[in-house]
Amino acid sequence: MTDIKTTRGHSCTACQHRKIRCNGQSPCAYCIKIGRNCARHPRATQSRTAAAQGRREGQVVESGDQRRYVEDNKLWTSLSGELGDTTSPPKDQPSPAKRMHHSAQTNFIFGPQQWQSPDTLHPSAVQSFKLFQAFLTNVHPLTKIVHGPSVQEQVLGALGDPYAMEADLECLIFSIYLIAVVSLSEEECRALLDEPKEEHLARYRYATEAALSRVDFLRSTDLKVLQAFTLYLLALRHLADNDVLWLLTGLATRMAQRMGLHRESSLQDLSPFDAEMRRRVWWQIIILDGRAAQVSGASMNPAAHLMGDTKQPANINDGDLVPSMSALPAASASATDTVFCSVRIEIGVWMMQQKLLPSSPVPNQDPERFLKSVDELEQKVHCRYLRNIDSEIPLNSLAVSLARSAFAQLRLSVCHPMRQRDRNAELSQARLGMILRNSLEVIRYDVLAHTTKTLRNFLWHISSFFPYETFVLLLTSLSRMVSGDDAERAWDVVNEVYEHHPMFTPESRDSLHRALGNLTLKSWDRRVSDARAVGSEIPQDLPCIRTLRFQRGVSDEE
């Protein structure tokens, strides 16, 4: 009996069954001898640890009759109380823009009964040229999914007879038209195309979906088709619900994996140009999927087998990439037209490595080592991409702002309340002040981007990467630190955020945006009640507060 007790915890199932001593190896000596698969039951302590880990990382949040599982996602976990607010409507209602062709979405994936031929939806040659120029100016510098010079040649060649183009190119061109329209303001769209933006969104969304269905995109291994689908998803961030987008970015990831884009070894037999374009597409999909996971409440922990080992795209200009080249040129030591994408990917890779590598420092457990690692990353990004940059060029200016905002957010994570061992512990006023000031620094980069005229072409993209997590942290800090100069400045910035992001007070009643509104009102009401309690002057409602109150008043009456 003694032998059994001392070996049972480490014994494989075969040795336990035979009641013989197991040498604890994997496979053990006995299983090797009899040629059997060596397996062990998980320890009870391991099961308890796994269960505890699950309780820490995942939870169900409810909004009306909707249940959502949130896993390893600080944004949604920190908003869980606002999602359950009784003022929330039972279901998300898509806005008019998001309802466009809503009934066709299922057909788009599972195969339509009938599509109007995309041949009939091509714009005039003049409009086609205008849309492609808008794509090159507003979209391409921030995505680099296609090779600008090559696609420009193909588009210009197709203008003479658009009905004769190959089906895969037609997919790509329609997706370019769609994302180009997304990037335009209402005024720009009317000036360029003489029609309301919503009409063009409807036309080219339908045309893109019809063209993708026509080529049977779910079974396709054509890079042009995947590029088209990825551009379509970038446009869909402005047209569809976050949950739908996350599901579809997962589909894009699987399509890319099926083509081997996640494995560097699968690119070795391709030309340097083709391999590089696949790297660009893969990393854009990874970024898109990660963001979709965050805003939908899904886990943001990457799995090593899903990430693959594909190299980062080279920091080289489009003009230095030629389909006939025999080798890639050396990475540029100065700013290139890929600088924005290069900076995003460099920072994104580091963040994924922090989650994947066991030796990586954890912000709340080893803050000094974590901050040192952030400093090293900042120095690397500066030396590799930003050292000789001309910030007067809008794309370069945006890349610099991206880097500064990202590093500020990383440093802020050290003092994030969600990383405390006891999340319910009261924070000191000094710590609250530090969190508020650091959060404010991050949010100001977003405000700066919206108020800088030279960045207007990129607002379609900037608005899709709003730092929600930091904004929640700012609002939470304001609910606890209700007075003082820092609080006054912070509320002015909050009002500016709502001014620049009208979708935060949407007719669609998107769960995330509604939760932000609930938290904003709760923090403001705390400020008012605190002023009333101490006999101070009651602050007048800000414009964003009045709008939020009005919308909730309307909702309550429905």
The pLDDT tens digits of the residues spanning 286-309 come to 999 988 888 877 766 666 556 788
Could you read off the pLDDT of 491-544 as tens digits, one per residue?
A: 999 999 999 998 887 555 677 888 889 999 999 999 999 888 888 888 899 999
The pLDDT value recorded for residue 9 is 44
Report the C-alpha gap between 154 and 223 in whole angstroms: 15
Average the pLDDT over each of 22-31, 236-245, 484-493 and give the range with the smallest value. 22-31
Which residue reads 């820490």 in tokens? 56
> Is the pLDDT assigned to residue 368 strictly greater than 90?
no
Decide if pLDDT at 399 tops 70: yes
pTM of the model: 0.80
As a whole number of angstroms, the distance between CA 65 and CA 80 comes to: 15
> What is the C-alpha separation between 177 and 229, in angstroms, rounded?
13
Pairwise CA distance, residues 78 & 516, whole Å: 11
Q: Is the dihedral of CA 351, 357, 362, 366 positive or negative?
A: negative
Question: What's the confidence (pLDDT) of residue 558?
Answer: 41
N-to-C CA span, the chain: 71
pLDDT for the residue numbered 431: 75
pLDDT at 189: 95
The reported pLDDT for the residue numbered 84 is 56
Averaged pLDDT, 78-104: 50
Q: For residue 28, report the phi and psi dihedrals to the nearest 5 degrees.
A: -80, 170
Beta-bridge partner residues of 60: 69
pLDDT, mean of residues 174-199:
95
Q: How far is residue 510's CA from residue 241's CA, in Å, rounded to a whole number?
A: 8
> Which has more confidence, 387 or 508?
387
Average pLDDT over residues 350-356: 80
Q: Has residue 421 got a pLDDT over 60?
A: no
Q: What is the pLDDT of residues 151-171, one digit of tens each?
A: 999 988 888 888 888 999 999
Backbone angles phi, psi at 20, to 5 degrees: -120, 160
- pLDDT above 70 coverage of the chain, percent: 75
Q: Is residue 230 pLDDT above 90, yes or no?
A: yes
Do 12 and 22 form a contact (C-beta atoms < 8 A)?
yes
Residue 49 CA, chain-centre distance (Å), reads 30
Q: What is the mean pLDDT of the chain?
A: 81
Q: Quickly state the pLDDT bin for 552 (edges 50, 70, 90).
A: confident
Q: What's the mean pLDDT in 474-497?
A: 87
Closest CA to 501 of 548, 553, 540: 548
What is d(CA 233, CA 175) in angstroms, rounded to the nearest whole number? 9
Going by pLDDT thresholds of 50, 70 and 90, the confidence category of residue 54 is very low
Give percent of the chain with pLDDT exceeding 90: 47
Quote the pLDDT of residue 66. Answer: 56
Say which CATH superfamily domain 2-41 falls into. Answer: Zn(2)-C6 fungal-type DNA-binding domain (4.10.240.10)
Which candidate, 80, 527, 143, 87, places its Cα nearest to that of 338?
Answer: 143
| Enclosing H/E stretch for 68 | strand 66-71
Instruction: Please tell me the predicted confidence (pLDDT) of residue 101.
Output: 46
- 271's enclosing H/E stretch is none
